[in-house]
Structures are given as C-alpha cells and as structure tokens.
Amino acid sequence: MIDLPPEQFIEQRLVECGLNASGFTVKYEDYLQGIEIVIKPEAGATPQKFGCIHKASEYEIVTFSDLEMNRDYSDYTTELYRPKMLEDARQSLEKIGKLNGFPVRSAFANDKLFAEAVEEHCGIPAGSALKEFGDGIVFMPPSEEYRDVEKFINRYSCLITATTFLAAKRELSIGIVGNEAVREEKSN
C-alpha cells in the first residue's frame, strides 16, 4: 500500500464526497502553516455535502470562494463545535468561581446593560472592554492593555471565557476589534 501525501488523500476524499476535482484546490500554504482547501462553485458543493467535506478535510482550513457558501459552511462548523465550546466555557467559569451569580440576559433591558453586568461580574469596570459598536457589542479594551501580555491574560481571561459562554448559549454575540483599530487609535 502506498501512502499518499496529505493533499492527495484529502483530494481523493473530497471527490468521494461528490465534488468535481477541477473545482477545488488542496495546497499547503506557508503563511497558514497548514493545508488550505479552496472550493469554487465549479466543485458542485452543496450544504448537503458539508458533513462529508468537513470529515474529508479533517482539521485543515476550508474556504469557499463563494462568500455565501463560505458563511454557510462557517455556520455549519460553528454548530458542530458549539456544544463543546459551551461546556468548556461553563467548566472554566465554574473553576474560577464565576458561574454562580452569572448575569442572566432576561434581567437586562438591552445588550449594552447586559454586557456591562458581565464585565462587572468578571471584575472589569462596566463599559471599559465591551463597547457598543454599530448595532453590536465588541471586545475592545483600551489599547495600552495590550502591552503586557501576562497582565492582559490575567485581567481579561474571565471576560473572554464569559463572552465565549454567551456566544455558545446564543445570548450575546461579541465582535472583536483587531490590531488595525488599535493602530488607528494610536495614530490619532
């Protein structure tokens, strides 16, 4: 028996899922330090094939060139991992003594007030890290907080776990403002 390179093995499995081989690429990407699978509409992928695609790709990165299909696949995989994410976050909050007394969404008139209660529950001043941004709430601590990684982790680990818990429970969706926003804030 001949061992196939991982890329060819994945390609073969994707074809077995019913995808047209000329409609996708499976390639190791240095910048990702892993294999990326790019699926174009020509591959004939459908939401009904997501389970097979997920199994065939194992833990590699799957990207659909069609943005709607990419979003649908992301939603599919999020649903797969949601129960584990919820349980892991619940256990982490319990371990640090923050599960008892955790704020209940229905007790607050809006997402902003709920987010502030979650911050305070985790020992963070209300409104200092979870902020309104457009129609949603984003995790955006002050830029100077990013300077000391150990301090940042100690200060925000409960809040990050809490937002994961809330996202998994579908009680509050939290966006993350990346480095670009921090860079823009510094230049002003």
Scanning the structure block, which residue is given the tokens 């992928």?
A: 45
- Tell me: the pLDDT tens digits for 86-113? 999 999 999 999 999 999 999 999 999 9
Take residue 7 and report the two structure tokens written for it. Answer: 């890329």
Residues 6+ apart with CB under 8 A from 172: 105, 111, 114, 115, 118, 137, 163, 166
Nearest to 62 by CA among 41, 37, 42: 37
- Tell me: the pLDDT tens digits for 121-139? 999 999 999 999 888 899 9
Task: Provide the residue ranges of all domains of the chain, joining segments of one domain with +.
Answer: 6-65, 85-187
- Tell me: the pLDDT tens digits for 13-43? 999 999 999 999 999 999 989 999 999 999 9
pLDDT at 180 over 60: no
